[in-house]
Amino acid sequence: MQAVTKFFRREEGQTLSEYALILILIAVVAIVAITLLGEQISAVLTQIANSL
């Protein structure tokens, strides 16, 4: 029983979970931003390339 309570009191696992959630949140935000702005960025880069 002590091993089980010791396992749930460890903080390393919680910290790792929190970092994973933050990483997932950043990835989702980046994917949404690229999806929404992708065509506009592509148009700007094409316009710059054509002007060179």
Q: Where are the domains of the chain?
A: 11-51
pLDDT for res 16: 77
pLDDT for res 14: 66
Mean pLDDT by 10 residues, the chain (52 residues): 65 72 94 90 92 88
The pTM is what? 0.54
pLDDT for res 9: 65
Distance CA 16, CA 30 (A): 21
* Residue 28 to residues 5, 7, 40, Cα–Cα distance (Å): 34, 31, 19
Distance CA 26, CA 4 (A): 33
Taking residue 38's Cβ as centre, other Cβ atoms within 10 Å add up to 10
